Amino acid sequence: MINTPLISVLMAVYNAENYLDASITSILEQSFTNFEFIIINDGSIDRTSEILEKYIKQDSRVHIISQENTGLTVALNKGLNIAKGKYIARQDADDISYPYRLQKQLELMEENPYIVLCGGNCENLYQGGLQTIWGWQTDEEIQKSVFFKTPFAHSTAFMRTDIARQLGGYDENFKTSQDMEFWMRFAKVGKISMIKEPVIRRHVFPDSISVRRRWRQFYDAFCARWKHSKNKGAVLYNSLRSLFISFLPEQIIKVLKES
């Protein structure tokens, strides 16, 4: 008898050879073990494919889908559509999930069926060694703020698979900020919650999407806010504020987060 996994961990990978081993291992060593690990190799041209092949042989929970590059949003939807788990947990290829991550998020969702999406706090690690904490919000705060800013890092997301599919998955018109727009739709059909303690360590690089393509991210985030929020003044304020912060040095960002 084949056991159906309770959780489908979903990762999309593009040229992530430097941190991929540590990221995959952090999932395979979780305290909760009844999961499948779907990894979409989105047209990588570095050593990513070689690294992934190693894990297929080591652990039967790992499933690799290799394809030509389509971009993160389309790749995630492919994984979402084939996931077998009751829940989907996101993981980025350069982030590290702490061992208790899946267990804690699963327990929260199982005990609270009205919660459709759960994130978690996280530790941000910058290339120069600077570290910050993302920050935590109550359920009530998230329900108000989700239409203006992302409440938690994409890599901490833990969602109900049936709801994610009912909502149509990620909107493929969004090349960036796809998580922000998706969470806004989740907020319209149920509650969103967040684990207070960090569940991942998140790497922030100078060449990450949020930095390299900040103008596209500004545009996509603005479109998401404008589409889902009735307070257009708050949309303009939060969009311009986010753009301004994206240009600030890391040390200044740390001060703002701690203030």
Q: In this structure, what CATH number is given to the domain that contains residue 95?
A: 3.90.550.10
Task: Output 236-245 pairs: Cβ under 8 A, ≥24 positions apart.
Answer: 238/148, 238/149, 242/149, 242/218, 243/214, 243/218
Residue 219 lies in a domain: yes
pLDDT single digits (tens) 56-85:
999 999 999 999 999 999 999 999 999 999
Query: Which residues of the chain have a pLDDT value below 70?
Result: 1-2, 206-212, 244-259
251 falls within a domain: yes
**Strands 35-42, 62-67: pairing kind:** parallel
Contact 211, 176 (CB under 8 A): no
Range of the domain at 31: 7-258
Task: List the beta bridge partners of residue 115.
Answer: 191
Residue 170 lies inside a defined structural domain of this protein: yes
In a domain, residue 169? The reply is yes
The beta strand positions in 2-146, using DSSP E, are 7-13, 35-42, 62-67, 87-90, 96-97, 115-126, 131-133
Query: What's the burial of 34, exposed, middle or buried (CB within 10 Å: 0-12/13-18/19+)?
Result: middle
Q: How many domains does the chain have?
A: 1
Q: Let me know if residue 37 belongs to a domain.
A: yes
Question: Rounded to whole angstroms, what are the CA distances from 60 to 63, 106, 162?
Answer: 8, 21, 24
Closest CA to 86 of 100, 72, 105: 105
pTM: 0.90
Amino acid at 163: I
Cβ neighbours for 81, distance < 8 A, ≥ 6 positions apart: 165, 169
CB 48 within 8 A of CB 20: yes
